[in-house]
Structure 1
Protein backbone atom coordinates (compact mmCIF):
# COMPACT_ATOMS: atom_id res chain seq x y z
CA UNK A 1 0.00 0.00 0.00
CA UNK A 2 1.41 3.39 -0.99
CA UNK A 3 2.52 5.89 1.64
CA UNK A 4 0.58 8.95 2.72
CA UNK A 5 2.06 12.43 2.81
CA UNK A 6 3.82 13.22 6.09
CA UNK A 7 6.68 15.30 7.43
CA UNK A 8 8.95 12.24 7.30
CA UNK A 9 7.99 11.51 3.68
CA UNK A 10 8.62 15.11 2.64
CA UNK A 11 12.01 14.98 4.35
CA UNK A 12 12.86 11.89 2.32
CA UNK A 13 11.82 13.63 -0.89
CA UNK A 14 13.97 16.65 -0.01
CA UNK A 15 16.98 14.40 0.63
CA UNK A 16 16.65 12.73 -2.77
CA UNK A 17 15.84 15.92 -4.68
CA UNK A 18 18.66 17.90 -3.09
CA UNK A 19 21.11 15.02 -3.40
CA UNK A 20 20.39 14.68 -7.11
CA UNK A 21 21.03 18.37 -7.71
CA UNK A 22 23.98 18.77 -5.37
CA UNK A 23 22.17 21.17 -3.02
CA UNK A 24 23.41 21.82 0.50
CA UNK A 25 20.63 21.07 3.01
CA UNK A 26 19.77 21.90 6.60
CA UNK A 27 16.80 21.62 8.95
CA UNK A 28 15.29 24.36 11.07
CA UNK A 29 12.78 22.57 13.27
CA UNK A 30 10.24 20.99 10.91
CA UNK A 31 11.36 23.21 8.05
CA UNK A 32 13.70 21.59 5.54
CA UNK A 33 15.96 23.89 3.52
CA UNK A 34 18.01 23.48 0.35
CA UNK A 35 20.48 25.96 -1.11
CA UNK A 36 19.50 26.32 -4.78
CA UNK A 37 22.89 27.31 -6.13
CA UNK A 38 21.79 26.73 -9.74
CA UNK A 39 18.71 28.98 -9.79
CA UNK A 40 18.05 31.59 -7.09
CA UNK A 41 21.44 31.14 -5.40
CA UNK A 42 19.53 31.21 -2.13
CA UNK A 43 17.61 28.93 0.22
CA UNK A 44 14.31 27.23 -0.55
CA UNK A 45 12.29 26.09 2.44
CA UNK A 46 10.11 22.99 2.36
CA UNK A 47 7.49 22.02 4.94
CA UNK A 48 4.55 19.65 5.31
CA UNK A 49 1.34 20.70 7.05
CA UNK A 50 2.64 24.00 8.46
CA UNK A 51 0.91 25.83 11.27
CA UNK A 52 0.12 29.52 10.94
CA UNK A 53 2.98 30.24 13.34
CA UNK A 54 5.44 28.28 11.20
CA UNK A 55 4.26 30.08 8.07
CA UNK A 56 4.63 33.44 9.80
CA UNK A 57 8.21 32.62 10.80
CA UNK A 58 9.10 31.64 7.23
CA UNK A 59 7.32 34.72 5.88
CA UNK A 60 9.45 36.93 8.12
CA UNK A 61 12.62 35.30 6.78
CA UNK A 62 11.48 35.56 3.15
CA UNK A 63 10.68 39.24 3.63
CA UNK A 64 14.31 39.80 4.65
CA UNK A 65 15.65 37.65 1.79
CA UNK A 66 13.48 38.23 -1.35
CA UNK A 67 15.19 35.50 -3.40
CA UNK A 68 14.18 32.78 -0.96
CA UNK A 69 11.10 30.65 -1.58
CA UNK A 70 8.80 28.29 0.31
CA UNK A 71 7.40 25.01 -1.00
CA UNK A 72 4.59 23.68 1.18
CA UNK A 73 2.52 20.50 1.22
CA UNK A 74 -0.81 20.15 2.98
CA UNK A 75 -3.89 17.95 2.93
CA UNK A 76 -5.92 21.07 2.16
CA UNK A 77 -4.26 23.44 -0.29
CA UNK A 78 -7.15 25.89 0.19
CA UNK A 79 -6.53 26.19 3.94
CA UNK A 80 -2.78 26.39 3.37
CA UNK A 81 -3.13 29.28 0.93
CA UNK A 82 -5.56 31.08 3.24
CA UNK A 83 -3.15 30.89 6.20
CA UNK A 84 -0.16 31.84 4.07
CA UNK A 85 -1.96 34.86 2.65
CA UNK A 86 -2.81 36.05 6.15
CA UNK A 87 0.88 36.14 7.10
CA UNK A 88 1.94 37.98 3.95
CA UNK A 89 3.01 35.20 1.59
CA UNK A 90 2.13 35.22 -2.12
CA UNK A 91 1.41 32.12 -4.20
CA UNK A 92 3.82 31.68 -7.11
CA UNK A 93 2.59 28.25 -8.26
CA UNK A 94 -0.12 25.85 -7.14
CA UNK A 95 -0.47 23.43 -10.04
CA UNK A 96 2.08 20.75 -9.14
CA UNK A 97 1.37 17.54 -7.23
CA UNK A 98 3.26 15.10 -5.02
CA UNK A 99 2.84 11.61 -6.50
CA UNK A 100 3.71 8.11 -5.33
CA UNK A 101 3.89 4.65 -6.85
CA UNK A 102 4.63 1.11 -5.69
CA UNK A 103 7.71 0.02 -7.60
CA UNK A 104 6.79 -3.66 -7.53
CA UNK A 105 4.31 -3.00 -10.35
CA UNK A 106 7.01 -1.53 -12.60
CA UNK A 107 9.51 -3.22 -14.92
CA UNK A 108 12.70 -4.58 -13.37
CA UNK A 109 14.58 -4.43 -16.67
CA UNK A 110 15.45 -1.31 -18.66
CA UNK A 111 13.09 -1.16 -21.68
CA UNK A 112 14.32 -1.12 -25.25
CA UNK A 113 14.72 2.41 -26.64
CA UNK A 114 12.39 3.72 -29.32
CA UNK A 115 13.43 3.08 -32.92
CA UNK A 116 16.12 5.53 -33.94
CA UNK A 117 17.18 6.32 -30.37
CA UNK A 118 19.74 5.02 -27.88
CA UNK A 119 19.84 5.08 -24.09
CA UNK A 120 22.74 6.44 -22.08
CA UNK A 121 22.79 5.38 -18.42
CA UNK A 122 25.03 6.75 -15.69
CA UNK A 123 25.16 5.28 -12.18
CA UNK A 124 26.76 7.00 -9.19
CA UNK A 125 26.13 5.21 -5.92
CA UNK A 126 22.46 5.67 -5.09
CA UNK A 127 21.90 7.98 -8.07
CA UNK A 128 21.15 7.09 -11.69
CA UNK A 129 20.76 9.32 -14.74
CA UNK A 130 19.09 8.18 -17.96
CA UNK A 131 18.98 9.98 -21.29
CA UNK A 132 17.68 9.18 -24.78
CA UNK A 133 19.55 10.37 -27.87
CA UNK A 134 18.87 10.16 -31.61
CA UNK A 135 21.17 7.51 -33.09
CA UNK A 136 22.22 9.85 -35.87
CA UNK A 137 23.01 12.79 -33.54
CA UNK A 138 24.00 11.48 -30.14
CA UNK A 139 24.99 14.89 -28.81
CA UNK A 140 21.30 15.81 -28.74
CA UNK A 141 19.36 14.91 -25.58
CA UNK A 142 15.81 13.99 -26.59
CA UNK A 143 14.64 13.08 -23.09
CA UNK A 144 16.22 12.53 -19.70
CA UNK A 145 15.61 11.94 -16.00
CA UNK A 146 17.24 11.20 -12.66
CA UNK A 147 16.42 8.89 -9.75
CA UNK A 148 17.90 8.69 -6.24
CA UNK A 149 17.43 5.94 -3.64
CA UNK A 150 16.79 7.26 -0.11
CA UNK A 151 15.54 5.27 2.89
CA UNK A 152 13.48 2.80 0.90
CA UNK A 153 12.17 5.36 -1.59
CA UNK A 154 13.17 6.23 -5.14
CA UNK A 155 13.03 9.98 -5.77
CA UNK A 156 12.42 10.77 -9.45
CA UNK A 157 13.50 14.21 -10.64
CA UNK A 158 14.13 16.35 -13.72
CA UNK A 159 12.03 14.27 -16.10
CA UNK A 160 12.43 16.29 -19.29
CA UNK A 161 11.48 15.73 -22.92
CA UNK A 162 12.91 18.12 -25.49
CA UNK A 163 10.44 20.32 -27.34
CA UNK A 164 11.23 18.66 -30.68
CA UNK A 165 10.68 15.15 -29.31
CA UNK A 166 7.36 15.31 -27.49
CA UNK A 167 4.38 13.03 -28.12
CA UNK A 168 6.65 10.16 -29.13
CA UNK A 169 6.44 8.18 -25.89
CA UNK A 170 9.98 9.10 -24.85
CA UNK A 171 8.90 10.38 -21.42
CA UNK A 172 7.28 7.01 -20.73
CA UNK A 173 10.49 5.21 -21.72
CA UNK A 174 12.55 7.43 -19.39
CA UNK A 175 10.19 6.72 -16.48
CA UNK A 176 10.25 2.98 -17.14
CA UNK A 177 14.04 2.99 -17.32
CA UNK A 178 14.37 4.98 -14.10
CA UNK A 179 11.96 2.67 -12.29
CA UNK A 180 14.02 -0.35 -13.32
CA UNK A 181 17.27 1.29 -12.21
CA UNK A 182 15.73 2.30 -8.88
CA UNK A 183 14.97 -1.35 -8.17
CA UNK A 184 18.69 -2.11 -8.16
CA UNK A 185 18.48 -0.64 -4.64
CA UNK A 186 16.37 -1.57 -1.61
CA UNK A 187 13.38 0.60 -2.46
CA UNK A 188 9.64 -0.04 -2.30
CA UNK A 189 8.03 3.17 -3.51
CA UNK A 190 8.71 6.05 -5.87
CA UNK A 191 8.12 9.75 -5.19
CA UNK A 192 8.08 12.76 -7.47
CA UNK A 193 6.75 16.28 -7.86
CA UNK A 194 4.74 16.40 -11.08
CA UNK A 195 3.95 19.38 -13.27
CA UNK A 196 0.50 19.74 -14.79
CA UNK A 197 1.77 18.24 -18.03
CA UNK A 198 3.42 15.33 -16.23
CA UNK A 199 0.54 14.36 -13.95
CA UNK A 200 -1.51 12.69 -16.68
CA UNK A 201 1.51 10.74 -17.94
CA UNK A 202 2.48 9.53 -14.48
CA UNK A 203 -1.09 8.55 -13.63
CA UNK A 204 -1.14 6.38 -16.76
CA UNK A 205 2.03 4.69 -15.48
CA UNK A 206 0.54 3.77 -12.11
CA UNK A 207 1.32 6.84 -10.02
CA UNK A 208 -1.24 8.37 -7.64
CA UNK A 209 -1.45 11.90 -6.24
CA UNK A 210 -0.85 12.58 -2.55
CA UNK A 211 -1.96 16.19 -2.85
CA UNK A 212 -1.09 19.58 -4.26
CA UNK A 213 2.19 21.40 -3.83
CA UNK A 214 2.05 25.17 -3.32
CA UNK A 215 5.00 27.52 -3.76
CA UNK A 216 5.25 30.93 -2.15
CA UNK A 217 7.33 34.09 -2.07
CA UNK A 218 7.20 37.08 0.28
Structure 2
Protein backbone atom coordinates (compact mmCIF):
# COMPACT_ATOMS: atom_id res chain seq x y z
CA UNK A 1 0.00 0.00 0.00
CA UNK A 2 1.45 3.42 -0.88
CA UNK A 3 2.31 5.75 1.99
CA UNK A 4 -0.67 7.86 3.03
CA UNK A 5 -0.32 10.85 5.34
CA UNK A 6 -2.00 10.68 8.72
CA UNK A 7 -4.35 13.54 7.78
CA UNK A 8 -5.56 11.60 4.75
CA UNK A 9 -6.07 8.40 6.72
CA UNK A 10 -8.01 10.17 9.45
CA UNK A 11 -10.16 11.89 6.84
CA UNK A 12 -10.86 8.49 5.23
CA UNK A 13 -11.88 7.17 8.63
CA UNK A 14 -14.26 10.00 9.50
CA UNK A 15 -15.78 10.02 5.99
CA UNK A 16 -16.73 6.38 6.50
CA UNK A 17 -17.65 6.79 10.17
CA UNK A 18 -20.29 9.44 9.44
CA UNK A 19 -21.85 7.16 6.81
CA UNK A 20 -21.78 4.20 9.19
CA UNK A 21 -23.32 6.16 12.09
CA UNK A 22 -25.58 8.54 10.15
CA UNK A 23 -23.89 11.62 11.60
CA UNK A 24 -23.50 15.05 10.04
CA UNK A 25 -20.93 15.82 7.37
CA UNK A 26 -17.54 16.76 8.86
CA UNK A 27 -16.96 20.49 9.29
CA UNK A 28 -13.47 21.59 8.28
CA UNK A 29 -11.48 23.27 11.04
CA UNK A 30 -7.92 24.68 11.00
CA UNK A 31 -6.85 21.79 13.22
CA UNK A 32 -9.03 18.98 11.79
CA UNK A 33 -12.80 18.40 11.77
CA UNK A 34 -15.92 18.73 13.91
CA UNK A 35 -18.76 16.22 13.59
CA UNK A 36 -22.25 16.75 15.01
CA UNK A 37 -23.32 13.35 16.32
CA UNK A 38 -26.51 14.39 18.10
CA UNK A 39 -26.68 11.76 20.85
CA UNK A 40 -27.18 12.55 24.55
CA UNK A 41 -23.78 11.16 25.54
CA UNK A 42 -22.04 12.20 22.34
CA UNK A 43 -23.27 15.56 21.14
CA UNK A 44 -20.26 16.30 18.94
CA UNK A 45 -16.70 15.18 18.38
CA UNK A 46 -13.61 17.15 17.47
CA UNK A 47 -11.07 15.12 15.50
CA UNK A 48 -7.44 16.25 15.43
CA UNK A 49 -5.12 14.13 13.25
CA UNK A 50 -1.99 15.94 14.44
CA UNK A 51 -2.96 17.60 17.72
CA UNK A 52 -1.05 20.67 18.84
CA UNK A 53 -1.17 21.85 22.43
CA UNK A 54 -2.49 25.32 21.58
CA UNK A 55 -5.37 23.91 19.53
CA UNK A 56 -6.38 21.37 22.16
CA UNK A 57 -6.30 23.95 24.94
CA UNK A 58 -8.37 26.33 22.80
CA UNK A 59 -11.05 23.66 22.21
CA UNK A 60 -11.07 22.68 25.89
CA UNK A 61 -11.49 26.31 26.98
CA UNK A 62 -14.41 26.78 24.57
CA UNK A 63 -16.25 23.58 25.59
CA UNK A 64 -19.21 23.76 27.95
CA UNK A 65 -21.49 20.98 26.65
CA UNK A 66 -21.22 17.58 28.35
CA UNK A 67 -20.91 14.82 25.79
CA UNK A 68 -18.37 16.69 23.67
CA UNK A 69 -15.60 14.34 22.57
CA UNK A 70 -11.99 14.77 21.52
CA UNK A 71 -10.37 12.27 19.17
CA UNK A 72 -6.64 13.00 19.29
CA UNK A 73 -4.27 10.93 17.17
CA UNK A 74 -1.40 10.84 19.63
CA UNK A 75 -0.27 8.91 22.69
CA UNK A 76 -2.37 9.69 25.74
CA UNK A 77 0.59 10.71 27.90
CA UNK A 78 1.45 13.49 25.47
CA UNK A 79 -2.02 15.06 25.30
CA UNK A 80 -3.56 14.44 28.73
CA UNK A 81 -1.66 17.37 30.33
CA UNK A 82 -3.47 19.70 27.90
CA UNK A 83 -6.97 18.96 29.23
CA UNK A 84 -8.49 19.49 32.65
CA UNK A 85 -9.93 17.11 35.23
CA UNK A 86 -13.41 17.32 33.69
CA UNK A 87 -12.28 15.36 30.63
CA UNK A 88 -12.68 11.58 31.00
CA UNK A 89 -10.48 9.12 29.16
CA UNK A 90 -11.99 6.34 27.10
CA UNK A 91 -10.14 3.17 26.07
CA UNK A 92 -7.21 3.87 23.73
CA UNK A 93 -7.71 3.39 20.01
CA UNK A 94 -5.47 2.41 17.13
CA UNK A 95 -5.80 3.76 13.59
CA UNK A 96 -5.15 0.82 11.25
CA UNK A 97 -5.17 0.22 7.50
CA UNK A 98 -5.21 -2.80 5.23
CA UNK A 99 -4.82 -3.54 1.52
CA UNK A 100 -7.95 -5.54 0.80
CA UNK A 101 -7.89 -8.95 -0.85
CA UNK A 102 -10.62 -11.56 -1.38
CA UNK A 103 -10.88 -13.77 1.69
CA UNK A 104 -11.97 -17.35 2.18
CA UNK A 105 -14.71 -17.72 4.75
CA UNK A 106 -16.36 -20.69 6.41
CA UNK A 107 -19.05 -20.55 9.06
CA UNK A 108 -18.27 -22.68 12.15
CA UNK A 109 -20.70 -25.45 13.02
CA UNK A 110 -23.61 -24.27 15.12
CA UNK A 111 -23.74 -20.76 13.66
CA UNK A 112 -25.41 -18.94 10.78
CA UNK A 113 -24.26 -15.84 8.93
CA UNK A 114 -26.46 -13.16 7.38
CA UNK A 115 -25.20 -10.16 5.40
CA UNK A 116 -26.86 -7.23 3.66
CA UNK A 117 -26.07 -3.78 2.24
CA UNK A 118 -28.21 -0.68 2.54
CA UNK A 119 -27.46 3.04 2.30
CA UNK A 120 -23.76 2.55 1.63
CA UNK A 121 -23.29 0.29 4.67
CA UNK A 122 -22.72 -3.49 4.53
CA UNK A 123 -23.49 -5.49 7.65
CA UNK A 124 -22.70 -9.00 8.84
CA UNK A 125 -24.62 -10.78 11.59
CA UNK A 126 -23.65 -14.12 13.12
CA UNK A 127 -26.20 -16.01 15.22
CA UNK A 128 -26.48 -19.40 16.82
CA UNK A 129 -28.70 -21.97 15.13
CA UNK A 130 -31.50 -21.03 17.52
CA UNK A 131 -31.16 -17.33 16.71
CA UNK A 132 -29.10 -15.97 19.59
CA UNK A 133 -26.76 -13.06 18.83
CA UNK A 134 -23.11 -14.11 18.54
CA UNK A 135 -21.17 -11.48 16.54
CA UNK A 136 -21.59 -8.57 14.17
CA UNK A 137 -19.76 -5.87 12.22
CA UNK A 138 -20.25 -3.38 9.42
CA UNK A 139 -18.39 -1.39 6.79
CA UNK A 140 -19.18 1.97 5.22
CA UNK A 141 -18.31 2.31 1.53
CA UNK A 142 -16.65 5.60 0.54
CA UNK A 143 -15.22 5.59 -2.98
CA UNK A 144 -12.54 2.92 -3.33
CA UNK A 145 -12.14 2.48 0.42
CA UNK A 146 -14.19 1.16 3.31
CA UNK A 147 -14.27 1.93 7.00
CA UNK A 148 -14.86 -0.95 9.41
CA UNK A 149 -17.10 -0.16 12.36
CA UNK A 150 -18.88 -1.73 15.34
CA UNK A 151 -17.25 -5.15 15.25
CA UNK A 152 -18.20 -7.09 18.35
CA UNK A 153 -18.55 -10.65 19.62
CA UNK A 154 -20.78 -11.67 22.53
CA UNK A 155 -18.71 -12.68 25.54
CA UNK A 156 -19.99 -16.26 25.56
CA UNK A 157 -19.02 -16.76 21.91
CA UNK A 158 -15.47 -15.39 21.95
CA UNK A 159 -12.41 -17.43 20.98
CA UNK A 160 -14.40 -19.38 18.42
CA UNK A 161 -13.19 -17.56 15.32
CA UNK A 162 -16.33 -15.45 14.91
CA UNK A 163 -14.50 -12.11 14.92
CA UNK A 164 -12.29 -13.37 12.13
CA UNK A 165 -15.32 -14.65 10.26
CA UNK A 166 -17.00 -11.24 10.47
CA UNK A 167 -13.87 -9.39 9.36
CA UNK A 168 -13.06 -11.72 6.46
CA UNK A 169 -16.65 -11.53 5.25
CA UNK A 170 -16.61 -7.74 5.42
CA UNK A 171 -13.24 -7.54 3.67
CA UNK A 172 -14.43 -9.80 0.87
CA UNK A 173 -17.63 -7.79 0.52
CA UNK A 174 -15.57 -4.62 0.25
CA UNK A 175 -13.22 -6.13 -2.33
CA UNK A 176 -16.11 -7.38 -4.46
CA UNK A 177 -17.58 -3.85 -4.37
CA UNK A 178 -14.32 -2.43 -5.75
CA UNK A 179 -12.66 -1.19 -2.56
CA UNK A 180 -8.95 -1.80 -2.15
CA UNK A 181 -8.17 0.07 1.08
CA UNK A 182 -9.66 -0.52 4.51
CA UNK A 183 -9.44 1.84 7.47
CA UNK A 184 -10.53 1.39 11.08
CA UNK A 185 -9.92 2.52 14.62
CA UNK A 186 -9.61 -0.56 16.78
CA UNK A 187 -9.73 -1.20 20.50
CA UNK A 188 -6.90 -2.84 22.43
CA UNK A 189 -8.95 -6.07 22.38
CA UNK A 190 -9.48 -5.92 18.62
CA UNK A 191 -5.94 -4.96 17.66
CA UNK A 192 -4.58 -8.51 17.81
CA UNK A 193 -7.40 -9.80 15.60
CA UNK A 194 -6.93 -7.08 13.00
CA UNK A 195 -3.16 -7.53 12.97
CA UNK A 196 -3.59 -11.26 12.33
CA UNK A 197 -5.69 -10.39 9.27
CA UNK A 198 -3.07 -8.11 7.74
CA UNK A 199 -4.00 -4.74 9.22
CA UNK A 200 -1.18 -2.33 10.06
CA UNK A 201 -1.20 0.14 12.94
CA UNK A 202 -0.59 3.72 11.76
CA UNK A 203 -1.25 5.85 14.84
CA UNK A 204 -2.52 5.64 18.41
CA UNK A 205 -5.67 7.58 19.26
CA UNK A 206 -6.58 9.16 22.58
CA UNK A 207 -10.32 9.46 23.13
CA UNK A 208 -11.72 11.87 25.72
CA UNK A 209 -15.15 13.20 26.59
CA UNK A 210 -16.24 16.23 28.58
CA UNK A 211 -18.15 15.46 31.77
CA UNK A 212 -17.86 18.16 34.42
CA UNK A 213 -18.01 16.96 38.01
CA UNK A 214 -21.43 18.49 38.67
CA UNK A 215 -22.86 16.69 35.59
CA UNK A 216 -21.64 13.31 36.86
CA UNK A 217 -23.55 13.61 40.13
TM-score norm. by structure 1 comes to 0.85
| Residue in structure 2 matched with residue 7 of structure 1 by the alignment | 7
Tell me how far apart the structure 1 counterparts of residues 128 and 186 of structure 2 sit (CA, whole Å).
26
- Kindly indicate whether the alpha-carbon contact (under 8 Å) linking 2:40 and 2:67 is maintained by their aligned counterparts in 1: no
**Following the alignment from structure 2 to structure 1, what is the Cα–Cα distance between the partners of residues 143 and 92?**
27
- Note the C-alpha offset of 1:80: 3.4
Indicate which of 144, 147, 151 corresponds to 2:139.
147
Q: Structure 2: which 5+ runs fail to align? A: 211-217
RMSD of equivalent CA atoms: 2.2
- Could you tell which deviates more after superposition, 34-43 or 51-60? 34-43
Once the two structures are superposed, the pairs formed by residues 93-132 of structure 1 within 5 Å of their partners are 93=90, 95-104=92-101, 106-107=102-103, 111-132=105-126
Which 4+ runs in 1 deviate beyond 6 A? none
Partner residue, 2:214: none
Native 8 Å contact 1:91 1:214 kept in 2: no
Deviation, 1:164, is: 1.5
Unaligned runs of 5+ in 1: none
Match in the other structure for 1:20: 20
Residue 169 of structure 2 is matched in structure 1 by 177
- In the alignment, what sits opposite 1:197? 189
The 3 A distance-change label for structure 1 pair 94 and 80 is farther
Separation in 2, partners of 1:214, 1:203:
20
Partner SS state of residue 59, structure 1: helix
How far has the Cα of 1:90 moved from its partner? 3.9
CA deviations over 1:186-217 (Å, ceiling 9, x no partner): 32211111111111111111111112110123
**Within 2, Cα distance between the matches of 1:100 and 1:77?**
21
CA distance in 2, matches of 1:31, 1:88: 24
CA distance in 2: counterparts of 1:151 and 1:142, whole angstroms: 30
Is residue 132–residue 143 contact of structure 1 (8 Å, CA) maintained in 2?
yes
CA contact (8 A) 1:20 1:147 kept: yes
Give the secondary structure class of the aligned counterpart of 1:206: coil
Please say if residues 47 and 72 of structure 1, whose CA atoms lie closer than 8 Å, have aligned partners that are also in contact.
yes
Change (3 A) 1:26 1:125: closer
State the shift of 1:17 in Å.
1.0
The total of aligned residue pairs comes to: 209
Deviation, structure 1 residue 94? 5.3
Q: CA deviation at 1:102?
A: 0.9
| Range 112-121 or range 88-97, more displaced | 88-97
Displacement of 1:123: 0.8
